[in-house]
Amino acid sequence: MGLFAAPEFKVGLLVLIVSGIIATMSIKVSNDPAGLGSTKNAHFFMDDASGLVKNSNIRMAGIPVGMIKDIRLENGMARVEVVLKGDTPITKSARVEIRPNGILGDKFVEVIGGDVRDPPLQSGDQIMVVDDRASVDRLIGEISKITASISQVAENIKAATEGDKDKPLGRIVDNIERLTTDLAALSAERKDDLGEIISNLRETTDTINELVNDQSDDGFKAAFKDAMQSLKKIEGTLKNVEEITAKINRGEGTIGKLVNDAETAEELNTAISGINNLLDTSNRLQTSFDYHTHYLTASSEAKSYISLRLQPGVDRYYEIGVVDDATGTRERIRTASTTNGVETVTVENRTFQDRVKFNAQFAKNFWNLTVRGGLLENTGGVGLDYYFFKRDLRLTAEAYDFANIQVRASARYNIWSGLYFTVGGENLAGQNGSASAFVGGGLFLTNDDLKLLMTRLPF
């Protein structure tokens, strides 16, 4: 007991205890230099690690979660070893971003945890994705390229505004200047013509407005009402057809038994397949309707046209129509008689007011040019159409009745959705009467226009 009570023994025991505590703390600090507790190691590679400092913090969402353990050169790249807290939420898809830490060039590492559905990052794994956003040299280089490009653009603009026609921009500016000068001169020279065109358009729209708002028994609204009543009758007919087909589906009657018989059904399916092929072909057939009328200045009469166009392809179409000409149809009758051995020939020109004329033509399209031929106003004839401004403007020349040559030329402009006006001249060859100018308008409807009109009708 004397030994344990001695002061020397107590001092020695205290020294041993303190030494053990210091050794334990030294070992712990060597394993966890940042005081992170449980840790995991990771590394990543960079082309340039300048600005990163050993033992500096690593952050996630701005919060320190680790430190840089070591930076060394490996295979020509910088290998950055990091130590992270063991509970840091980081997965295999994690990435690091090198961000600036102030304006003096220092940087720090920001860790992005990755997709939580991916497996967690294990100690010793490599972080594959590195985004170096803090490279000042790279930023300065990009700014230099942008500055050079802006300087070059400014020089080109300066050269163009000073009249340098050797460069593309200078030539463009010069062409625009000449174009605006030509347009100004043209509008000044044709001012009266433009005013006349606008006046004609106004008169045409007024005429159409009067036609649409006609309240008489023969007006447009009355005809439209009659058409609606006819459509209602068609609806009743369709309902009856639906009832008949229902009886057939139930096997009632002779037709129902035939349809529900297996052998007959197979034959019927074959027939329906053929009909479907036929209908598919007809769906590809473009059908259009054209009606127009114009006023003849020489005779103070109107001339109306109505036609149906069938277009099986974009390169051709067939057109049939009827012409109501107020001047009537002319016929030349030649009568020969012999008296006392002398032959006498009498030629008589007759005009029939109540007869209509017919058109039947075949047309071939060549880009913006269309060539037509066939029957024009009861006689053989040919025609040429040429389109401008996305086919809104059409110039036409026609020749027919080659025994007494008739020449007609016109221009047609599409105002809006099939509504157009036309101007031109007839009998320009000067035979069978004097030449006459005309002005008028019309309506051109296609398959799509007719379908749209039907969908808007109040059934």
Q: What spatial distance separates the first Cα and last Cα of the chain, rounded to whole Å?
A: 121
Find the range with the poorest average confidence among 238-252, 259-273, 366-380: 259-273
Burial 355-377 (b: 16+ CB within 10 A, else e): eebebebebebeeeebebebbbb
Query: Does 21 have pLDDT greater than 90?
Result: no
Residue in this structure with the two tokens 């005013």, named with its chain if needed:
195
C-alpha 436/C-alpha 427 separation (Å) is: 7
Higher pLDDT, 34 or 399: 399
pLDDT of residue 48: 84
Question: How much of the chain, in percent, has pLDDT values that exceed 70?
Answer: 77
For 222, the 3-state DSSP assignment is helix
286-455 folds as: Porin (2.40.160)
- Strands (E) in 184-231, as ranges, are none
Model pLDDT for residues 378-434, shown as the tens digit of each residue: 889 999 999 998 889 999 999 988 877 889 999 999 998 889 999 999 888 866 557
pLDDT of residue 316: 92
Model pLDDT for residues 120-145, shown as the tens digit of each residue: 988 889 999 988 765 555 666 667 77
For residue 369, name the pLDDT band (cuts at 50, 70, 90).
very high
pLDDT of residue 30: 45
Highest-scoring range by mean pLDDT, 21-30, 292-301, 409-418: 409-418
pLDDT of residue 1: 53
Query: Does 28 have pLDDT greater than 60?
Result: no
Higher pLDDT, 186 or 28: 186
H helix runs in 284-392, sequence order: none
pLDDT of residue 105: 62
Query: Does 297 have pLDDT greater than 80?
Result: yes
Give the mean pLDDT of 252-256: 70
Joined together, the tokens standing for residue 122 give: 């294990």
pLDDT of residue 82: 93
Higher pLDDT, 459 or 414: 414
- Cβ atoms < 10 Å from Cβ of 162: 9
Query: Does 33 have pLDDT greater than 60?
Result: no
Task: Work out whether the CA dihedral 30, 35, 36, 41 comes out positive or negative.
Answer: negative
Model pLDDT for residues 59-111, shown as the tens digit of each residue: 998 899 999 999 999 998 999 999 999 888 999 899 999 888 765 667 889 99
Residue in this structure with the two tokens 């040019």, named with its chain if needed:
369
Query: Does 36 have pLDDT greater than 60?
Result: no
Domain ranges of the chain: 1-31, 32-134, 139-189, 193-247, 286-455
pLDDT of residue 372: 96
Give the mean pLDDT of 435-458: 80
Beta bridge partners of 131: 97
- Strands (E) in 341-433, as ranges, are 342-352, 357-366, 369-376, 379-388, 393-400, 406-416, 419-426
Joined together, the tokens standing for residue 401 give: 């009745």
For residue 34, name the pLDDT band (cuts at 50, 70, 90).
very low
C-alpha 431/C-alpha 424 separation (Å) is: 17
C-alpha Rg value of the chain to the nearest Å: 47
Give the mean pLDDT of 276-292: 73
Joined together, the tokens standing for residue 71 give: 């930076």
Higher pLDDT, 24 or 227: 227
Fill in the DSSP letter of residue 35.
-
Highest-scoring range by mean pLDDT, 15-19, 22-26, 161-165, 287-291: 287-291
Query: Does 9 have pLDDT greater than 90?
Result: no
Q: What backbone torsions phi and psi does residue 243 show, to the nearest 5 degrees?
A: -65, -40
Query: Does 324 have pLDDT greater than 90?
Result: no
pLDDT of residue 29: 44
Residue of 107, 111, 84, 83 lying closest to 95 (CA atoms): 111
pLDDT of residue 352: 63
Beta bridge partners of 39: 85
For residue 276, name the pLDDT band (cuts at 50, 70, 90).
low
For residue 26, name the pLDDT band (cuts at 50, 70, 90).
low
Model pLDDT for residues 342-363, shown as the tens digit of each residue: 777 776 666 666 668 899 999 9
